Structure 1
């Protein structure tokens, strides 16, 4: 009987250890080994999300592999990502809005299955200015656009934000591409991540 109890105790300890290791691994970002030297202000980051909204976007965009997009900025000498996102509050009562967060949070296992970093070629000055525009919108407390209205820039959704900050510098990321969606609750013309990603001036910096 004592032998059985001891074996059960050891088995319990082993299971606890495996669960603990698994949980700790899940906290790691996909970008844990990515050197800062690869980054430039204005790089565009795409991720394939894990939530319901991400699945809905990917269902409507048959050619696309990514459901969300943001822009890489430097704030107080730290790399951050500015993006417009719903359903990711930083505190109780935090509204859906344009956020600025650590790149590790943006690409965390909870939020991203896969991701890439892209850069507009031969456009360093414009890229940096686009990043500054994004920081300005973050500090302006721009809310998330749940109506997905491209004609109103007082609120913005993710791709609208990225398209907007570059367009302010005379750069048309989408080159006029739009996606028509006709599903219950979402009917109209929108910018999807793949509408941006098709730009041939975008070069791949990193992917996982």
Structure 2
């Protein structure tokens, strides 16, 4: 019984070590390359608004470990929608997808790339239940600031630092700056000394009473 309880933590330890070694965050576990969705073909999505929160279920070992430790959701990664020249993009922080200089920083990707078949086996879009004061637009603007500031991916998963961000932290802090606390400041605590003791898991955002489902693909 003790061994069974320790397995999720053991897998998480392996995943973090993999991240530190530069493991790709969206590698197909089967070893067979998935057929990617062409970036010029828009997936079947509803009209997206600034501030929409988009979740995806990744295909990597890291994604599997995240979901193993977060049984409240079937998604492992999240980003926030912003529009550039009328086109929706996703601001997100992810390991294993370095920029042209080899640095892992906050990314601004086309929606079709974010949910392409090689990176996502499923995805969902959520939206603020009530937004009469422009919270979503301000959150999107803050997320764009993170991108322009070229903030690094936070491998320490330290919710207290603002100069580095991981995916759920980015979305939470973007909305927090607009006046909305999506999680009520509830965090997950792990008894592991080499990780921060307070984490935001995807399920804590997806199950927020302040968000409603707009679209999900299966």
Cα pair distance change 1:109/1:61, threshold 3 Å: same
Partner of 1:33: 44
- The two structures have a TM-score, normalised by structure 1, of 0.81
1:200 aligns with 2:202: no
Which one of 94, 101, 106 corresponds to residue 109 of structure 2? Answer: 101
SS of residue matched to 1:64: coil
SS of residue matched to 1:73: strand
Once the two structures are superposed, the pairs formed by residues 1-208 of structure 1 within 5 Å of their partners are 26-28=36-38, 32-35=43-46, 38-91=47-100, 93-123=101-131, 125-182=134-191, 186=195, 188-208=197-217
Runs of 4+ with deviation above 3 angstroms: 23-26, 28-31, 182-187
Alpha-carbon deviation of 1:112?
A: 0.6
Unaligned runs of 5+ in 1: 1-22
Alpha-carbon deviation of 1:181?
A: 2.4
Q: CA RMSD in A?
A: 2.1
Alpha-carbon deviation of 1:200?
A: 1.4
Q: Which has the higher strand share?
A: 1
Q: Is the contact made by 1:60 and 1:181 (CA closer than 8 Å) also made in structure 2?
A: no
Unaligned runs of 5+ in 2: 1-32
Alpha-carbon deviation of 1:68?
A: 0.5
Distance 1:106 1:59 in 2: 22
Q: Is the contact made by 1:44 and 1:117 (CA closer than 8 Å) also made in structure 2?
A: yes
Q: Is the contact made by 1:85 and 1:96 (CA closer than 8 Å) also made in structure 2?
A: yes
1:156-207 per-position Cα deviation (integer Å, ceiling 9, x unaligned): 1111111101000110011122112246854622001111112112111111
